[in-house]
């Protein structure tokens, strides 16, 4: 086994393998297995910024600047401690980052600051710029929200009042609201619209976010954009529209996620269409949607984003994206990742949580 020594630290090439067995996040939350962004992906992504090893628990040797009050930067500054033999240390850093990048490529992700070249699509995949099977949004969607950290977009959301956003609870499993910024009302995730910070995060009180995967964000200041009203619960067959900036193809990486908001027309399906081999949906609090015929549907990065119904008065909100229906690969398809190949998405039924939403907002007034 090859090793690279730099002072007391040793980087083992063997540690570039997947980190799930070492990750406390993996052990803590098995429900991530049926979510588009699994713990191993996040654990390996974070180490490009937080340290040498692609596995959690390594000594922290770097830092990144806090978000400014304006736009969100996807660039990351990596600083290392001074060490004897500066040239050797720099070479070790480059090799460590390269090995970490290999680990990320194995998992289908790359870090923007680690690799300059785009990642080619996996065999069987396509280099697309849309929600799987979607198209550039025609908008406007004044209520559409991009949740971002210094690494970029990570989830979607919907503005439901001038100062409150509804999103997915699981978006905050490993993130802190003080590290995030929201871009509201823009079709692009990198510019335009209005930016706000989070004053308060309120997750649904149920302990497990699997079937109550919903959270509310109170903005630090109101915004002038028109919010989206909540719909009433709708039956199977209702035409709907999905919005998001998420992954564009099965097995895609960060380089494949679109800058322009994507939209996809679909319909509410019967609950049994979203029968999940990992975690079943709850018809009392969730909605099944997607296009199984074309395998067009939501993927990671779309979490928290809206499921909408068009009315004569405008859009109404039905759901917030929670997770996908996990399905085995078709013949000839790659074995991983399994999550986005079915085209079926499970959304939290937002109207079913209306009473809780109203109680949170009224108590904070």
| Active site residues per annotation | 170, 213, 303
The whole-angstrom separation of Cα 123 and Cα 135 is: 23
First to last CA, the chain: 60
> What is the 8-class DSSP label of residue 72?
P
Residue of 56, 20, 323 lying closest to 170 (CA atoms): 323
Element (H, E) at 354: helix 354-363
Q: Give Rg (Cα) of the chain.
A: 21
Instruction: Say how far apart CA 34 and CA 210 lie, in whole Å.
Output: 10
Nearest-angstrom CA–CA distance, 203 and 34: 20
Coil vs helix vs strand at 167: strand
Strands, E, within 81-180: which ranges? 135-136, 144-149, 152-159, 164-167
Q: What is d(CA 192, CA 183) in angstroms, rounded to the nearest whole number?
A: 8
Q: Please give the Cα distance from 347 to 298 (Å, whole number).
A: 10
Q: In what order do the strands lie in the sheet with 144-149?
A: 194-196, 181-184, 144-149, 152-159, 164-167, 215-219, 198-203
């Amino acid at each position: 086994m090859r090793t690279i020594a730099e002072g007391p630290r040793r980087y083992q090439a063997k540690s570039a393998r997947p980190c799930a067995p070492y990750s406390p996040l993996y052990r803590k939350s098995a429900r991530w297995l049926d979510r588009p962004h699994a713990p191993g992906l996040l654990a390996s992504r974070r180490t490009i910024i937080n340290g040498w090893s692609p596995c959690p628990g390594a000594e922290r040797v770097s830092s990144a600047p806090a978000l400014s009050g304006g736009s969100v930067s996807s660039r990351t500054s990596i600083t290392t401690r001074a060490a004897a033999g500066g040239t050797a240390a720099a070479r070790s850093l480059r090799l460590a980052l390269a090995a970490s990048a290999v680990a990320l490529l194995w998992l289908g992700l790359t870090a923007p600051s680690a690799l300059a070249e785009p990642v080619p699509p996996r065999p069987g995949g396509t280099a697309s710029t849309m929600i799987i099977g979607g198209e550039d949004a025609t908008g406007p969607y004044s209520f559409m929200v991009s949740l971002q950290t210094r690494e970029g977009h990570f989830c979607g959301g919907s503005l439901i009042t001038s100062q409150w956003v509804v999103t997915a609870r699981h978006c905050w499993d490993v993130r802190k609201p003080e590290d995030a910024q929201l871009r509201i009302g823009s079709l692009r995730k990198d510019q335009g619209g209005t930016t706000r910070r989070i004053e308060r995060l309120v997750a649904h009180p149920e302990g497990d976010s699997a079937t109550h995967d919903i959270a509310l964000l109170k903005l630090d200041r109101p915004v002038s954009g028109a919010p989206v009203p909540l719909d009433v619960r709708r039956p199977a067959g209702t035409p709907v529209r999905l919005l998001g900036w998420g992954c564009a193809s099965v097995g895609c990486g960060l380089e494949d996620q679109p800058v322009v908001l994507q939209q996809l027309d679909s319909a509410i399906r019967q609950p049994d269409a979203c029968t999940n081999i990992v975690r079943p949906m709850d018809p009392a609090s969730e909605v099944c949607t997607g296009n199984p015929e074309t395998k067009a549907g939501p993927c990671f990065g779309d979490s928290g984003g809206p499921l909408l119904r068009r009315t004569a008065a405008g859009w109404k909100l039905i759901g917030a994206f929670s997770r996908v229906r996990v399905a085995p690969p078709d013949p000839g398809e790659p074995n991983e990742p399994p999550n986005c190949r079915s085209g079926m998405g499970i959304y939290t039924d937002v109207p079913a949580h209306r009473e809780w939403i109203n109680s949170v907002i009224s108590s904070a007034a």
